[in-house]
Amino acid sequence: MAGYVEQGPVLLNELVGPDIWRMIAELPKTAQEVRPGQFVHVKPKPTTLMLRRPLSVSDADPGAGTIELIYRVVGTGTAAMAAMKKGDILDSLGPLGTYFSMKEGKIIGVGGGVGIAPILFLARRVKGGRMTAVIGGRNREEIFWKDLFPRDTRVIVTTDDGSFGIKGFAVSVLPGLLQKPGIGETAVCGPEILMKKTAEIAARAGIYCEVSMERRMGCGTGGCLACVCGRAGGGHYKVCLDGPVFDASEVIL
Ligand SMILES: Cc1cc2nc3c(=O)[nH]c(=O)nc-3n(C[C@H](O)[C@H](O)[C@H](O)COP(=O)(O)OP(=O)(O)OC[C@H]3O[C@@H](n4cnc5c(N)ncnc54)[C@H](O)[C@@H]3O)c2cc1C
Ligand code: FES
């Protein structure tokens, strides 16, 4: 999907976790059209940034005309985002990319770090208690995400140091969860090792798995090859155009 440029004011930009910010911006057309798994390619306006930065949408409210982004400050672009104040203008190219297919049946969403953002949007759109989210973080400070999930989502928390929830990595709970009947899909986003292990466990359980790949990006529209990932069977995909959401069996993780 090619997307379009839409500019709108920031309504809220707040620190919600260690170096992690939550922004709500008024972008009515994007809010109507964006689907879980898609991203927007953004920059503050005016800006000295040459390139936009890709961020997953973590929620959209078509009625209010707003989208939510949750992002970690790691460098120049995300620091510029964090410096934005209420009323500053966010310049968005989007919504871009593929989205989760939200198959019939129960959905197991697996998220690590800021990869939880698209899983959160998925949970917010999957109604009727169909979703279980497994979210992993290094410690209890990184687990503020759990309070953002809808009430009808079952949220299982793992921390590497055991300071909250189950001690261990998010994948440790998957073999047991995927044995339950009626699961239609596993959806995962986060560190590549998390996606690789989740895809392997889902394949062994015979459950369809979608991965949301987060590559460094340049143009965001297929022109620069900055974002390629390996294609199972040979060749490559452009994550910005062919992804970020892929059938896990179609990409090399
Ligand atoms: C489809 C997609 C969705 C994304 N969604 C989110 C999101 O919801 N929330 C969020 O916080 N981040 C997300 N990211 C990652 C985000 O785009 C980068 O963190 C951001 O572009 C970094 O820009 P910067 O200028 O702050 O950092 P830079 O100055 O460009 O880089 C700082 C450091 O971050 C590393 N880095 C930069 N981009 C990436 C990347 N894509 N993956 C891994 N390491 C990177 C660099 O190697 C460097 O070490 C997403 C990326 C993609 C491709
Ligand atoms: S970011 Fe340029 S081709 Fe994908």
Determine the atom of ligand 1 nearest the C-alpha atom of 217.
53
pLDDT at 176: 93
Write out the CATH class of domain 4-96. Answer: mainly beta
**Whose structure tokens read 């169909």?**
130
User: Ligand 2 mean position to 192 CA, how many Å?
Assistant: 19
Per residue in 148-162, pLDDT tens? 999 999 999 999 899
Strand partners, 43: 91
**Token representation of residue 15:** 């620190």
> pTM (2 decimals)?
0.95
User: Ligand 2 mean position to 215 CA, how many Å?
Assistant: 9
CB-CB contact of 97 with 121 (8 Å):
no
pLDDT at 143: 86
Per residue in 160-218, pLDDT tens? 899 999 999 889 999 999 999 999 999 999 999 999 999 999 999 999 999 999 999 99
123: helix, strand or coil? helix
pLDDT at 137: 87
Give the Cα-Cα-Cα angle 125, 131, 133 (nearest 5 degrees): 105
| Residue 228 in contact with ligand 2 by CB distance below 6 A | no
For every one of its 253 residues, what pLDDT tens digit does the chain have, with 9 covering 90 and above?
Answer: 579 999 999 999 999 999 999 999 999 999 999 999 999 999 998 888 889 999 999 999 999 999 999 999 999 999 999 999 999 999 999 999 999 999 899 999 999 999 999 999 999 999 888 999 999 988 888 889 999 999 999 999 999 899 999 999 889 999 999 999 999 999 999 999 999 999 999 999 999 999 999 999 999 999 999 999 999 999 999 999 999 999 999 999 9
Best residue among 224, 237, 242 to mutate for probing ligand 2's pocket (most ligand atoms within 8 Å of CB) is 224
Strand partners, 109: 133, 187
> Where are the chain's structural domains?
4-96, 106-212
| Residue 109 in contact with ligand 2 by CB distance below 6 A | no
CATH code linked to domain 106-212:
3.40.50.80
Question: 111 φ, ψ to 5°?
Answer: -135, 140
pLDDT at 1: 57
Question: 231 φ, ψ to 5°?
Answer: -105, 130
pLDDT at 111: 96
pLDDT at 134: 97
Domains 4-96 and 106-212 share a fold: no
pLDDT at 142: 85
Q: Which helix or strand (DSSP H or E) is residue 124 part of? A: helix 116-125
User: Ligand 1 mean position to 149 CA, how many Å?
Assistant: 23
Question: 114 φ, ψ to 5°?
Answer: -70, -5
